Amino acid sequence: MSQGPQITSVVFAGVGGQGILLASEIMARTAMIADFDVKTNEVHGMAQRGGSVIAQIRYGQEVFSPLVPDKEARILCGLERIKALRYRHYLAADGWAVVSDQVIVPVTVSMGHATYPSDARERLHAFFPNLLYINALEMAQSLGNARAANTIMLGAVAAKLDLPKAAWEQAIQECVKSQYLSINIKAFECGYSFE
């Protein structure tokens, strides 16, 4: 439908507490700095208590729906290994799945009511022709802070979009508290240059 191609849509999917809202805020700010219309949507309330969390960002000349239509996301970013599989319906046929290999074991698995797929990586490759699979947690730990993993992922997402790098850097400076700024800038660079 004719509006589709003019709007860029991105979906982040993860688990409550992974910093998904910050990633979404930085991206929205970046799009705004680059002078685009922008809308975002995040999950609040009940859904945040350790459950799945998704954030949706859309930018373009004029954005209507804050929700990403099925099969329209340029990028589907999974901050946890199997999250992208659950939300695969969002991804455009030629879009990119950017996936962290981090595993967060659901309580349903710990209790033996469900199993965590052991072939997650193979399934990701099979399902997503354009897949960037990143050991983000390990990379963040080597930078000195496991919590920077989401910013590494954001950097990898940024490299696949058309927003200017300077706008990203400005947005990070505006959104991140000063004491965490240098680690986040390092983490972003790390993701941005990931091959």
Partner 1 sequence: MRKLLSGNEAIARGAYEAGVTVATGYPGTPSTEILETLVAHKDEVYCEWAPNEKVAFEVAAGAAIAGARCITTMKHVGLNVAADPLMTLSYIGVVGGMVVCVADDPGQHSSQNEQDTRQYARFAKIPVLEPSDSDEARRFVKLGIEISETYRVPVILRSTTRVSHSRSLVALDERTPSERPVGFEKNPQQFVPIPVWGRKLRLDVEERLARMAAAASTSPANRIEWRDRKLGIVAAGIAWQYVREVWPDASVCKIGWGYPFPDTLIREFAAGVEHLLVVEELDNILEEHIRSLGIACEGKNVVPPTGELSVTRLRQSRAAMEGGEIVVAPPPPDDLPARPPMLCPGCPHRGIFYGLTLHDVLVTGDIGCYSLGVFPPLNRTDIILCMGGGISLAHGMDKAGEPRKVVGIVGDSTFFHSGITGLLDIAYNRGSSTIIVVDNRTTAMTGHQDHPGTGRTLMGEKTAEVSIEAIGKACGIHRVTTIDPYDLKRVQEVLNEELAAEEPSLIISRAPCPLHQRKPHGPPRIIDPASCKNCGMCLKLGCPAIERHEVISINALLCTGCGMCEQLCRFNAISVTEE
Q: Which residue's CB is nearer to partner 1, number 44 or number 195?
A: 44
- To partner 1, the closest distance from the beta carbon of 18 in angstroms equals 10
- CB atoms closer than 10 angstroms to residue 179: 7
Q: For binding to partner 1 (CB under 8 A), which residues are involved?
A: 1-4, 15-17, 28-29, 32, 37-52, 63-67, 69-71, 82, 85-90, 105-117, 123, 146
Nearest distance from C-beta of residue 178 to partner 1, angstroms: 19
- For partner 1, the closer CB: 64 or 193: 64
Counting every residue written for the chain, the total comes to: 195
- Of the candidates 93, 35, 33, which has an alpha carbon nearest to the alpha carbon of residue 60? 35
Q: How far is the CB of 33 from partner 1 (least distance, A)?
A: 10
In terms of CB distance, is 39 or 186 closer to partner 1? Answer: 39
**How far, in Å, CA of 24 to CA of 74, rounded?**
15
Query: What string of DSSP letters covers 52-101?
Result: EEEEEEEEESS---SSPPTT-EEEEEESSTTHHHHTGGGEEEEEEEEEE-
The residue (of 17 and 129) whose beta carbon lies closer to partner 1 is: 17
- CB-based contact 66:39 (threshold 8 Å): yes
Find, among 33, 12, 9, 2, the residue nearest to 161 by Cα.
Answer: 9
- CA torsion angle 66 70 75 77 (round to 10): 90
46 vs 195, which CB is nearer to partner 1? Answer: 46
Question: CB 106 → partner 1: shortest distance, Å?
Answer: 4
Query: Least CB distance from residue 29 to partner 1, whole Å?
Result: 7
